Amino acid sequence: MKIDLHAHFTPREFFNLVDSNGKRMGFDISTDSSGQEVVSVDGVKLGPIVRQMYDPEVRIKEMDAIGLDMQAVSVPPIGFFYYLDVDKGLNLNRRQNDSIAELVRAYPDRFVGMATVPMQDVRKAVAELERAVTQLGFKAVEINTNVNGKNLDEPEFYPFFEKAQSLDIPIFLHPHYVIGAADRLTRNYLVNLVGNPVDTTIAVASLVLSGIMEKLPNLKLVCAHAGETVPFIKGRWNHGYGHLYGTKLNIPKSPFEYVNRLYFDTITHYPPALRYMINDHGADHVVLGSDYPFDMADADPISTVKNLGLNKRAEEKIMWKNAASILKL
Protein backbone atom coordinates (compact mmCIF):
# COMPACT_ATOMS: atom_id res chain seq x y z
CA MET A 1 0.00 0.00 0.00
CA LYS A 2 1.27 3.50 -0.92
CA ILE A 3 -0.59 6.71 0.05
CA ASP A 4 0.36 10.18 -1.20
CA LEU A 5 -0.84 12.79 1.29
CA HIS A 6 0.19 15.79 -0.81
CA ALA A 7 -1.48 15.85 -4.23
CA HIS A 8 -3.57 18.58 -5.84
CA PHE A 9 -6.81 18.43 -7.81
CA THR A 10 -8.76 21.19 -9.55
CA PRO A 11 -12.27 20.70 -10.93
CA ARG A 12 -12.38 21.44 -14.67
CA GLU A 13 -14.90 24.24 -14.13
CA PHE A 14 -12.34 26.16 -12.07
CA PHE A 15 -10.05 26.86 -14.99
CA ASN A 16 -10.57 30.24 -16.67
CA LEU A 17 -12.66 31.65 -13.81
CA VAL A 18 -13.20 35.41 -13.98
CA ASP A 19 -14.62 37.80 -11.41
CA SER A 20 -17.41 40.32 -11.98
CA ASN A 21 -14.87 42.76 -13.45
CA GLY A 22 -13.50 40.21 -15.90
CA LYS A 23 -10.27 39.66 -13.94
CA ARG A 24 -8.75 36.18 -14.09
CA MET A 25 -9.09 34.11 -10.90
CA GLY A 26 -6.75 31.19 -10.41
CA PHE A 27 -5.73 29.10 -13.40
CA ASP A 28 -6.00 30.09 -17.03
CA ILE A 29 -5.85 27.55 -19.86
CA SER A 30 -4.45 28.60 -23.20
CA THR A 31 -3.20 26.77 -26.29
CA ASP A 32 0.39 27.18 -27.45
CA SER A 33 1.67 27.22 -31.04
CA SER A 34 1.86 23.41 -31.15
CA GLY A 35 -1.75 23.02 -30.09
CA GLN A 36 -0.81 21.87 -26.59
CA GLU A 37 -2.94 23.17 -23.74
CA VAL A 38 -0.89 24.90 -21.06
CA VAL A 39 -1.90 26.31 -17.72
CA SER A 40 -0.88 29.77 -16.45
CA VAL A 41 -1.24 31.73 -13.23
CA ASP A 42 -1.03 35.52 -13.37
CA GLY A 43 0.39 35.20 -16.87
CA VAL A 44 3.18 32.83 -15.81
CA LYS A 45 3.04 29.55 -17.71
CA LEU A 46 3.36 26.49 -15.49
CA GLY A 47 3.43 23.98 -18.32
CA PRO A 48 1.21 21.36 -19.96
CA ILE A 49 -0.20 19.87 -16.77
CA VAL A 50 -3.84 20.58 -17.48
CA ARG A 51 -5.43 17.16 -17.80
CA GLN A 52 -3.53 15.77 -14.83
CA MET A 53 -5.13 18.48 -12.72
CA TYR A 54 -8.73 17.47 -13.35
CA ASP A 55 -8.90 14.16 -15.24
CA PRO A 56 -8.99 11.18 -12.83
CA GLU A 57 -8.25 8.63 -15.55
CA VAL A 58 -5.03 10.38 -16.57
CA ARG A 59 -4.14 10.72 -12.91
CA ILE A 60 -4.79 7.06 -12.12
CA LYS A 61 -2.63 5.92 -15.04
CA GLU A 62 0.26 7.99 -13.71
CA MET A 63 -0.33 6.68 -10.18
CA ASP A 64 -0.28 3.10 -11.46
CA ALA A 65 2.93 3.74 -13.37
CA ILE A 66 4.83 4.42 -10.12
CA GLY A 67 2.90 1.97 -7.92
CA LEU A 68 0.87 4.56 -6.00
CA ASP A 69 -2.41 3.24 -4.58
CA MET A 70 -4.10 6.33 -3.19
CA GLN A 71 -3.91 10.13 -3.14
CA ALA A 72 -5.33 12.50 -0.55
CA VAL A 73 -6.40 15.27 -2.92
CA SER A 74 -6.49 18.95 -2.07
CA VAL A 75 -6.98 22.08 -4.14
CA PRO A 76 -3.85 23.97 -5.22
CA PRO A 77 -3.26 26.99 -2.98
CA ILE A 78 -4.33 29.34 -5.78
CA GLY A 79 -7.79 27.95 -5.02
CA PHE A 80 -8.00 29.06 -1.39
CA PHE A 81 -9.69 32.34 -2.46
CA TYR A 82 -9.08 33.99 0.92
CA TYR A 83 -8.82 37.38 -0.80
CA LEU A 84 -12.46 37.31 -1.90
CA ASP A 85 -15.54 38.54 -0.11
CA VAL A 86 -16.36 35.69 2.26
CA ASP A 87 -19.65 34.70 0.62
CA LYS A 88 -18.00 34.48 -2.80
CA GLY A 89 -15.08 32.57 -1.33
CA LEU A 90 -17.39 30.20 0.55
CA ASN A 91 -19.39 29.52 -2.61
CA LEU A 92 -16.23 28.60 -4.51
CA ASN A 93 -14.90 26.50 -1.62
CA ARG A 94 -18.18 24.59 -1.39
CA ARG A 95 -18.14 23.89 -5.13
CA GLN A 96 -14.56 22.65 -4.88
CA ASN A 97 -15.39 20.40 -1.93
CA ASP A 98 -18.47 19.02 -3.68
CA SER A 99 -16.37 18.23 -6.78
CA ILE A 100 -13.72 16.43 -4.74
CA ALA A 101 -16.46 14.49 -2.94
CA GLU A 102 -17.77 13.37 -6.34
CA LEU A 103 -14.27 12.24 -7.31
CA VAL A 104 -13.95 10.22 -4.11
CA ARG A 105 -17.37 8.63 -4.58
CA ALA A 106 -16.43 7.60 -8.11
CA TYR A 107 -13.02 6.21 -7.10
CA PRO A 108 -13.23 5.36 -3.38
CA ASP A 109 -10.20 3.07 -3.48
CA ARG A 110 -7.95 5.66 -5.14
CA PHE A 111 -8.78 9.03 -3.61
CA VAL A 112 -9.58 10.57 -0.24
CA GLY A 113 -10.87 14.12 0.16
CA MET A 114 -9.15 17.07 1.83
CA ALA A 115 -11.40 20.11 2.35
CA THR A 116 -10.76 23.79 1.75
CA VAL A 117 -12.56 26.44 3.81
CA PRO A 118 -12.91 30.26 3.81
CA MET A 119 -10.42 31.21 6.50
CA GLN A 120 -11.15 34.92 5.96
CA ASP A 121 -14.26 34.29 8.10
CA VAL A 122 -13.56 31.69 10.76
CA ARG A 123 -17.20 31.17 11.70
CA LYS A 124 -18.03 30.17 8.13
CA ALA A 125 -14.78 28.19 7.86
CA VAL A 126 -15.82 26.13 10.87
CA ALA A 127 -19.29 25.52 9.40
CA GLU A 128 -17.87 24.41 6.03
CA LEU A 129 -15.32 22.19 7.74
CA GLU A 130 -18.08 20.46 9.67
CA ARG A 131 -20.12 19.99 6.49
CA ALA A 132 -17.14 18.61 4.60
CA VAL A 133 -16.33 16.09 7.33
CA THR A 134 -19.78 15.02 8.54
CA GLN A 135 -21.70 15.20 5.24
CA LEU A 136 -19.08 14.70 2.53
CA GLY A 137 -16.84 12.29 4.41
CA PHE A 138 -13.62 14.30 4.10
CA LYS A 139 -10.67 13.07 6.11
CA ALA A 140 -8.54 16.24 6.35
CA VAL A 141 -8.53 19.97 5.67
CA GLU A 142 -5.95 22.13 3.90
CA ILE A 143 -5.25 25.74 4.82
CA ASN A 144 -2.70 28.35 3.81
CA THR A 145 0.24 29.14 6.07
CA ASN A 146 -1.10 32.67 6.46
CA VAL A 147 -4.51 34.22 5.97
CA ASN A 148 -4.25 37.41 3.95
CA GLY A 149 -0.98 38.23 5.72
CA LYS A 150 -2.13 37.25 9.21
CA ASN A 151 -0.18 34.65 11.18
CA LEU A 152 -2.11 31.55 12.20
CA ASP A 153 -1.79 32.28 15.92
CA GLU A 154 -4.14 35.27 15.71
CA PRO A 155 -6.93 34.70 18.29
CA GLU A 156 -9.60 34.88 15.58
CA PHE A 157 -8.38 31.58 14.10
CA TYR A 158 -8.42 29.60 17.34
CA PRO A 159 -12.02 28.28 16.92
CA PHE A 160 -10.99 26.70 13.62
CA PHE A 161 -8.13 24.75 15.21
CA GLU A 162 -10.41 23.83 18.10
CA LYS A 163 -13.01 22.45 15.67
CA ALA A 164 -10.38 20.46 13.74
CA GLN A 165 -9.27 18.86 17.00
CA SER A 166 -12.85 18.04 18.01
CA LEU A 167 -13.48 16.43 14.61
CA ASP A 168 -10.15 14.57 14.96
CA ILE A 169 -8.92 15.40 11.46
CA PRO A 170 -5.46 16.56 10.40
CA ILE A 171 -4.80 20.07 9.10
CA PHE A 172 -2.50 20.20 6.08
CA LEU A 173 -0.44 23.43 6.13
CA HIS A 174 0.45 24.50 2.59
CA PRO A 175 2.29 27.76 1.76
CA HIS A 176 1.23 30.35 -0.78
CA TYR A 177 2.21 34.03 -0.90
CA VAL A 178 4.84 34.58 1.76
CA ILE A 179 4.16 37.10 4.52
CA GLY A 180 6.13 40.32 3.98
CA ALA A 181 9.19 40.49 1.69
CA ALA A 182 7.06 39.69 -1.39
CA ASP A 183 8.62 42.63 -3.22
CA ARG A 184 12.05 41.02 -2.71
CA LEU A 185 10.95 37.69 -4.20
CA THR A 186 9.74 38.78 -7.63
CA ARG A 187 12.70 37.46 -9.64
CA ASN A 188 14.28 34.04 -10.15
CA TYR A 189 11.21 32.16 -8.87
CA LEU A 190 12.20 33.16 -5.33
CA VAL A 191 8.54 33.37 -4.29
CA ASN A 192 8.48 29.57 -4.48
CA LEU A 193 12.11 28.56 -3.98
CA VAL A 194 12.56 30.74 -0.89
CA GLY A 195 9.22 32.33 -0.03
CA ASN A 196 7.18 29.16 0.47
CA PRO A 197 9.71 27.53 2.82
CA VAL A 198 9.91 30.73 4.87
CA ASP A 199 6.16 31.09 5.16
CA THR A 200 5.64 27.53 6.35
CA THR A 201 8.34 28.06 8.97
CA ILE A 202 6.60 31.22 10.20
CA ALA A 203 3.30 29.36 10.43
CA VAL A 204 4.71 26.45 12.40
CA ALA A 205 6.68 28.72 14.74
CA SER A 206 3.53 30.74 15.40
CA LEU A 207 1.49 27.66 16.28
CA VAL A 208 4.26 26.19 18.47
CA LEU A 209 5.47 29.27 20.34
CA SER A 210 2.06 30.91 20.82
CA GLY A 211 0.79 28.04 22.94
CA ILE A 212 -1.93 26.88 20.54
CA MET A 213 -0.45 23.38 20.38
CA GLU A 214 -0.24 23.39 24.17
CA LYS A 215 -3.93 24.31 24.47
CA LEU A 216 -4.92 21.73 21.86
CA PRO A 217 -2.87 18.63 22.72
CA ASN A 218 -4.61 16.40 20.16
CA LEU A 219 -4.32 18.79 17.24
CA LYS A 220 -2.85 17.06 14.17
CA LEU A 221 -0.77 19.21 11.82
CA VAL A 222 0.85 18.04 8.59
CA CYS A 223 3.50 20.32 7.08
CA ALA A 224 4.13 20.42 3.33
CA HIS A 225 7.58 20.05 1.81
CA ALA A 226 9.16 18.12 4.69
CA GLY A 227 8.42 20.90 7.15
CA GLU A 228 10.45 23.33 5.00
CA THR A 229 13.17 24.73 7.29
CA VAL A 230 11.58 23.60 10.58
CA PRO A 231 13.73 20.47 11.07
CA PHE A 232 16.87 22.57 10.67
CA ILE A 233 15.88 25.67 12.67
CA LYS A 234 14.05 24.14 15.63
CA GLY A 235 17.25 24.13 17.69
CA ARG A 236 17.26 27.92 17.48
CA TRP A 237 13.70 27.98 18.84
CA ASN A 238 14.76 25.73 21.69
CA HIS A 239 17.75 27.92 22.49
CA GLY A 240 15.56 31.02 22.44
CA TYR A 241 13.02 29.36 24.69
CA GLY A 242 15.69 28.99 27.34
CA HIS A 243 16.77 32.63 27.12
CA LEU A 244 13.80 34.76 26.11
CA TYR A 245 11.43 35.55 28.94
CA GLY A 246 8.54 36.45 26.64
CA THR A 247 8.67 33.15 24.80
CA LYS A 248 8.62 31.07 27.96
CA LEU A 249 5.36 32.69 29.04
CA ASN A 250 3.42 31.01 26.24
CA ILE A 251 4.52 27.37 26.50
CA PRO A 252 5.47 25.36 29.58
CA LYS A 253 7.60 22.84 27.66
CA SER A 254 10.46 22.95 25.21
CA PRO A 255 9.51 23.75 21.57
CA PHE A 256 10.88 20.31 20.72
CA GLU A 257 7.94 18.77 22.59
CA TYR A 258 5.49 20.39 20.17
CA VAL A 259 7.55 20.04 16.97
CA ASN A 260 7.76 16.31 17.67
CA ARG A 261 3.96 16.11 17.31
CA LEU A 262 4.03 17.49 13.75
CA TYR A 263 3.86 15.38 10.61
CA PHE A 264 6.10 16.22 7.64
CA ASP A 265 5.80 14.98 4.07
CA THR A 266 8.80 13.68 2.12
CA ILE A 267 9.34 16.46 -0.43
CA THR A 268 12.88 17.83 -0.10
CA HIS A 269 14.40 17.18 -3.57
CA TYR A 270 17.60 16.30 -1.73
CA PRO A 271 18.03 12.82 -0.22
CA PRO A 272 20.55 13.83 2.50
CA ALA A 273 18.06 16.41 3.80
CA LEU A 274 15.21 13.88 3.76
CA ARG A 275 17.36 11.26 5.49
CA TYR A 276 18.33 13.78 8.18
CA MET A 277 14.70 14.81 8.71
CA ILE A 278 13.55 11.20 9.10
CA ASN A 279 16.42 10.25 11.41
CA ASP A 280 15.89 13.32 13.58
CA HIS A 281 12.09 13.58 13.53
CA GLY A 282 11.31 9.87 13.48
CA ALA A 283 9.59 7.74 10.84
CA ASP A 284 6.40 7.74 12.94
CA HIS A 285 5.66 11.31 11.86
CA VAL A 286 6.62 11.31 8.17
CA VAL A 287 4.16 10.75 5.30
CA LEU A 288 4.62 10.24 1.58
CA GLY A 289 4.14 13.41 -0.50
CA SER A 290 4.52 14.34 -4.16
CA ASP A 291 2.99 17.82 -4.78
CA TYR A 292 1.50 16.25 -7.92
CA PRO A 293 1.24 17.49 -10.63
CA PHE A 294 3.18 20.74 -10.31
CA ASP A 295 6.63 21.79 -11.46
CA MET A 296 8.00 21.43 -7.93
CA ALA A 297 6.63 17.88 -7.56
CA ASP A 298 8.55 14.75 -6.73
CA ALA A 299 7.52 12.66 -9.74
CA ASP A 300 8.25 9.36 -7.99
CA PRO A 301 8.11 9.75 -4.19
CA ILE A 302 8.01 5.99 -3.70
CA SER A 303 11.46 5.58 -5.27
CA THR A 304 12.67 8.60 -3.31
CA VAL A 305 11.88 6.81 -0.05
CA LYS A 306 13.02 3.37 -1.18
CA ASN A 307 16.41 4.74 -2.23
CA LEU A 308 17.10 5.97 1.31
CA GLY A 309 17.84 2.43 2.50
CA LEU A 310 15.49 2.57 5.50
CA ASN A 311 14.48 -0.55 7.37
CA LYS A 312 11.19 -2.16 6.33
CA ARG A 313 9.28 -0.98 9.41
CA ALA A 314 10.22 2.68 8.88
CA GLU A 315 9.55 2.45 5.15
CA GLU A 316 6.05 1.05 5.68
CA LYS A 317 5.19 3.80 8.16
CA ILE A 318 6.21 6.50 5.70
CA MET A 319 4.69 4.83 2.63
CA TRP A 320 1.23 4.32 4.09
CA LYS A 321 0.77 3.43 7.75
CA ASN A 322 1.13 6.95 9.15
CA ALA A 323 -1.20 8.44 6.53
CA ALA A 324 -3.77 5.66 6.99
CA SER A 325 -3.69 6.29 10.74
CA ILE A 326 -4.19 10.06 10.74
CA LEU A 327 -6.74 9.89 7.89
CA LYS A 328 -8.54 7.01 9.65
CA LEU A 329 -8.67 4.89 6.51
Query: Is residue 246's pLDDT more than 60?
Result: no
Residue 123 confidence (pLDDT): 98
Domain presence at residue 10: no
Residue 166 confidence (pLDDT): 98
Domain presence at residue 212: yes
Write out pLDDT tens, residues 167-182. 999 999 999 877 777 7
Residue 21: pLDDT band by 50, 70, 90 thresholds? Answer: low
Residue 242 confidence (pLDDT): 75
The domain that holds 271 is classified in CATH as 3.20.20.140
Domain presence at residue 122: yes
Domain presence at residue 56: no
User: What is the domain count for the chain?
Assistant: 1
Cα–Cα distances in angstroms (integers) from residue 198 to residues 17, 181, 190, 203, 285, in the given order: 29, 10, 11, 9, 21
Residue 247 confidence (pLDDT): 57
Domain presence at residue 195: yes
User: What is the pTM assigned to this prediction?
Assistant: 0.93
Domain presence at residue 151: yes
Domain presence at residue 150: yes
The SS3 assignment for 3 reads strand
Cα–Cα nearest to 295, from 191, 223, 184, 198: 191
Domain presence at residue 126: yes
Q: Which domain holds residue 316?
A: 79-327
Residue 272 confidence (pLDDT): 96
The amino acid occupying position 13 is: E
Write out pLDDT tens, residues 179-235. 777 788 888 888 888 878 889 999 999 999 999 999 999 999 999 999 999 999 999
Query: Is residue 50's pLDDT more than 70?
Result: yes
